[in-house]
Amino acid sequence: MNEKNIVVSVCMITYNHEKYISQAIDSMLMQKTNFDYEILIGEDCSPDRTREIVLEYKSKYPDKIKLLLQENNVGMMQNFIDTLKACSGKYIALCEGDDYWTDQYKLQKQVDILEAHPEYSMCYTARNVVDNKNNFIRVEKYPNKIYTTKDVVEGFIPSTQTILMRNYINLSEFMIKNIGHPSGDRLVTYYCSLMGDIYYLDEITACYRESGEGVWSSFNNLEKRHIRFERLKEFYKILGVDKNNLNLIDRGLYEFYSGTKISLKNPLSMLKKIKMLYHNYLRNIPLSVIIAVILMRIRSKIMRKFFNKVI
């Protein structure tokens, strides 16, 4: 396979995915395309049999699969950046070693869209969420066809394992510059959004796995929401707009309100929970700003109801 003719580089990072890595790779090998594509696997010194398995696949498909075998465990972000830098295709598809694709025409459909629309920087799709035994949990779809930088700044992130994006020369440099940020998919989405709009294909092409085995799965819903909020704050620091950001304050108010509603179900711990929620989301925000944002929310709701009635 001639590297100059590769249209898509599949960028896969993996660590401790012994149970799932074969299904992930097989879902990529089943792709039916009218172009050449490669599969780059960044293996981060897993203590299980993950490395052994990817080496077996490499021996079976030497022209299709390339391995980046870390000598020491470098962590998710560094492994992702290293694997991203090794991609030579015109486009890059993302998928981690515990997720997998379900549509054998996934890459073809997305390449056709990006070829026909140079104004799009990225194409992603809907997905199913499954457990560690591939049992269906839920479907995740998106309401709009087009997403912009404004949407990303406000918190939008596409389903990572469905992404196909253009291979931008300076993307790796941007990632290296912000390597301390905990959310690589948010950084990638933001960078791509600066280059062009993000297109949503309303078809299910992949599965995201909630295995219950990782660190993320060990958190309850309130903890996950708080972590997402903290990651958004870190993202705003990168943008230099983390101080008195109305969107961040509005998001904090929403999380505080949602968490308080949940706390009402357990009155005994309610006061303790409310104190924790206030500390997490509203600490250091002047009361006058909080009131202003609440009034803005109320005004926005009233305006929406008014225009809906007029229409």
Q: What percent of the chain has pLDDT over 70?
A: 92
- Residue 147 clears pLDDT 80, i.e. is over it: yes
What kind of fold does domain 3-209 have according to CATH? Spore Coat Polysaccharide Biosynthesis Protein SpsA; Chain A (3.90.550)
Closest CA to 251 of 159, 154, 151: 154
Between strands 146-147 and 136-140, the pairing is unpaired
Q: For 95-154, where are the alpha helices, taking DSSP H only?
A: 106-116, 149-153
* Average pLDDT score over residue span 112-123: 98
pTM of the model: 0.85
Residue 266: what pLDDT?
A: 72
Least confident of 114-118, 213-217, 218-222, 242-246: 213-217
Q: What is the distance between the alpha carbons of residues 288 and 32, in angstroms, rounded to a whole number?
A: 58
Q: Average pLDDT, stretch 196-211? A: 96
**Is the pLDDT confidence value at 41 over 60?**
yes
Q: How far apart are CA 8 and CA 35, in angstroms?
A: 8
pLDDT, residue 182, reads 82
Q: What is the CA radius of gyration of the chain?
A: 21
Taking residues 226-240, report their average pLDDT: 88
Domain locations in the chain? 3-209, 219-310
Q: Please give the residue that has the higher pLDDT: either 81 or 180.
A: 81
| pLDDT value, residue 308 | 57
Per-residue pLDDT, 303: 64
Average pLDDT value for residue range 157-174? 96
CA distance 58 to 236: 40
